[in-house]
Amino acid sequence: GAVVSQHPSWVICKSGTSVKIECRSLDFQATTMFWYRQFPKQSLMLMATSNEGSKATYEQGVEKDKFLINHASLTLSTLTVTSAHPEDSSFYICSARGPEGGRNSPLHFGNGTRLTVT
Amino acid sequence: AQKITQTQPGMFVQEKEAVTLDCTYDTSDPSYGLFWYKQPSSGEMIFLIYQGSYDQQNATEGRYSLNFQKARKSANLVISASQLGDSAMYFCAMRGSTGRRALTFGSGTRLQVQP
C-alpha cells in the first residue's frame, strides 16, 4: 500500500518551454503532497506543500510563478515548471504522507522526474 | 527551525560487516520524529526506519537499527551484515510536532559495500 506514482520519469525540454510533472497517490487519498528538488550529489530541498483544494505553500526562495502547483483532487498534484531555463535542470520528487496517519507516518515518495533543460 | 547534520559524505564497508551512519539533529520542538531513507542510484526514496522522540526503546527493522541518544541529539543508523545491495545514499530526516508536516533532510551519506 501507499504507492505514489510520478510521471514522467525524465524529460528533456528546450529553454523557454513549460513542463508538467504529475504526482498521484494510487491507493490512498492525499490531502497534502510535498514537492522536493534535488541537485546532483545534494540533499532534498522542500519546494512547496501542495494542499488539495487550496493554494500551495511555497518555501522561501521558491518562485511561485515559476513553479505552479495544482492539487485539484485527493489523488493528484501537478508541478508545472514554466519558462524553464537550464538552471531549472534538476531531480524533482513528490511525496505524500501515508494513510497510516500519526506523527510517525513516513512520507511515501514517487520515483522522481529528472528534468534537463537545453 | 530544524536542522539535520550528516557529517560523513561517504563510507565504505566490507560485505557482511556492520556499519554506522551518523546523524545529529537540532530542534526546539518538544516532540519530533526521526526517519532514515535509502536512495539507490535509480533515485527513488525508500523508507527504512522511524524513531519517535518519546520512544523508550531504539527502533529496529530487520537489519536496520537506530542508535537513538536523545541527550546527544543523535540518531545513528546501524546496518548489520551489509550486503552489496545496500550501496546507496542514506538520508536522515526529521519531522517536528508543530508547523510543517514535511520532512527536513540531512545532506546524506554515500555508502559503498565492498565484496
Over residues A57-70, the pLDDT tens digits come to: 999 999 999 999 99
Closest residue of chain B to A91, computed from CA coordinates: B43
Give the pLDDT score at A97. 84
Task: For residue B103, list chain A residues with Cβ-Cβ distance below 8 A.
Answer: 34, 46, 95, 107
Q: What is the pLDDT of residue B99?
A: 60
CA distances from B73 to A102, B6, B81 (A): 22, 12, 26
B1 touches chain A (CB under 8 A): no
Residue pointed to by grid coordinates 546524506: B108
pLDDT of residue B97: 72
pLDDT tens digit string along A82-112?
999 999 999 999 999 877 767 678 899 999 9
Query: A32: nearest CA in chain B?
Result: B101
Q: Pick the range with the lowest mean pLDDT from A10-14, A40-44, B11-15.
A: A40-44
Query: Of the candidates B1, B2, B41, which has an alpha carbon nearest to the alpha carbon of residue B23?
Result: B2
Residues B65-82, mean pLDDT to the nearest whole number: 97
